[in-house]
Amino acid sequence: MSTETRRLRRVGRTLAWVVLSVAAVATVIPFLWMLGVAFRPASDLYAHPAQILPGHWSLDGFRAVATQLPFGRLIVNTFVFAGGATLLLLLFDSMTAFALARLKFRGQNFVFILILATLMVPFQVTLIPVFLTLFHLGWLNTAHGLIIPRATSALGIFMLRQFFSQLPRELDDAARVDGAGAFTLYWRIILPLSKPALASLFVIQFAALWNDFLWPLVVTSDISHRTLPAALTLFSSTGGVDHAALMAGAAISLSPLAIAFLLAQRFFVQGVAASGVK
């Protein structure tokens, strides 16, 4: 009887792995289908919609999307927005986190609690007044209008403060004995030691901003200032859509993060595990 149950258990386990593998393939099928549609002519798609691989290959979708949308411009915009805001955010958040974790100043607790409190404020809540502020400043449809309001995050400050607090206190004393001031301590000692935390924060923030939709949708109305997701939506809602072009556009929008994920999966997983915010 025990060999019988053991065999049953082995069959069950094999079955579970088969189910898991099928589920994994099913999870990424929309992406595979997207790539297939991007590379096939419309006639082929209408004839065999259930097929994932193209019957005929063609680059027409990529050509079409590049002529119908200012695609080079959109890619640059998205990189400037996501990259610019993330770099500024790393600088500002690490500075604040450094002051909170390693320096002493009056009002320190108050500032920390203030920052913690803003963790609970989703940006949708402040969207309308922020929109009006940008409107009055003449910052709508500009790169700095997109970037500057997103250049700090309570979450980033919080994560980095945690990390900085764990670095040994002796570092500060040693630096002071050598005559280093706060700026040297921050720039030459704390930051270089915090590369893993900074890298994780960079990856999740860059990904979040690259994927962001509502914010660029509200701040930009002019297609030449939009980012990829917002521009692509505009494109998809115009009538008589060219499927191959749309899926080619989607594939191009997804590819930078997909490639980064394949190359540096560790940072994505660590960043997400440490923060858990998109």
Calpha distance 270→278 (Å, rounded)? 13
Tell me if 96 sits within 8 A of 201, measured CB to CB.
Answer: no
Contacts of 72 by beta carbon, 8 Å cutoff, 6+ apart: 66
Q: Is 245 in the site for other proteins (CB under 8 A)?
A: no
Residue among 79 and 112 whose Cβ is closer to other proteins: 112
Calpha distance 65→235 (Å, rounded)? 9
Calpha distance 70→59 (Å, rounded)? 18
Q: Is 155 in the site for other proteins (CB under 8 A)?
A: yes
Q: Which of 31, 173, 188, 224 binds other proteins (CB under 8 A)?
A: 31
Q: Is 67 in the site for other proteins (CB under 8 A)?
A: no
Tell me if 235 sits within 8 A of 246, measured CB to CB.
Answer: yes
Q: Is 273 in the site for other proteins (CB under 8 A)?
A: yes
- Window 214 to 233, contacts with other proteins (CB under 8 A): 214, 218, 228-230, 232-233
Give the interface segment with other proteins, choosing from 57-65, 69-77, 188-196, 246-254 (CB under 8 A). Answer: 246-254
Give the interface segment with other proteins, choosing from 58-66, 167-175, 189-197, 243-251 (CB under 8 A). Answer: 243-251
The first and second tokens of residue 149, run together, are 């309001």
- Window 41 to 60, contacts with other proteins (CB under 8 A): 45-46, 48-52
Q: Which of 24, 53, 76, 259 binds other proteins (CB under 8 A)?
A: 24
Q: Is 166 in the site for other proteins (CB under 8 A)?
A: no
- The site string for other proteins over 70-89 (x = CB under 8 A, - otherwise) reads --------------------
Q: Which of 118, 188, 196, 259 binds other proteins (CB under 8 A)?
A: 118
Amino acid at residue number 55: G
Residue 155 backbone phi and psi in degrees, to 5: -65, -45
- Window 128 to 147, contacts with other proteins (CB under 8 A): 128-133, 135
Residue among 59 and 114 whose Cβ is closer to other proteins: 114
Q: Is 248 in the site for other proteins (CB under 8 A)?
A: no
* Helix ranges (DSSP H) in the chain: 2-38, 42-47, 60-68, 71-102, 108-118, 123-137, 143-147, 154-166, 170-177, 182-184, 191-193, 195-211, 214-219, 228-237, 243-263, 265-275
